[in-house]
Amino acid sequence: MCASSSAGRDRENAAKKEAEFQTLSENYKDLQTRVQGGRFTQEEARVGSKRSAPEETLDATGGPSTNIWDQFGDFMKTSYTNDSFAPPPLRANQ
């Protein structure tokens, strides 16, 4: 009896794997048609309304800065205000 129940489980697992394979195959074919001639052929469809990356800061050699501390320093010089991290004012008791 153990052998027959094991064989039954193996058949069930094989059927599940076959169904998963069919689903994956259909999804792959759908994705391929989208990429090759479907809705992702135009850049607007792929990118949409995403913002461009912020402009890179330049290092001493004139190339883009990869030093995170330089980037942080530039942020602190240009974007930081003292009120950014200030707690809200205390309310007077009424």
- Each residue's pLDDT tens digit, 21-52: 999 999 999 888 877 776 666 767 667 777 66
CA distance 87 to 63: 39
Of 77 and 85, which is predicted with more confidence?
Answer: 77
- pTM of full prediction above 0.75: no
C-alpha angle 79-56-59 in degrees, rounded to nearest 5: 95
Mean pLDDT for the stretch of residues 5-21: 89
Q: Is the pLDDT of residue 18 over 90?
A: yes
Of 87 and 19, which is predicted with more confidence?
Answer: 19
Token pair listed for 7:
């064989």
Domain boundaries, the chain: 1-38
Token pair listed for 28:
């792959």
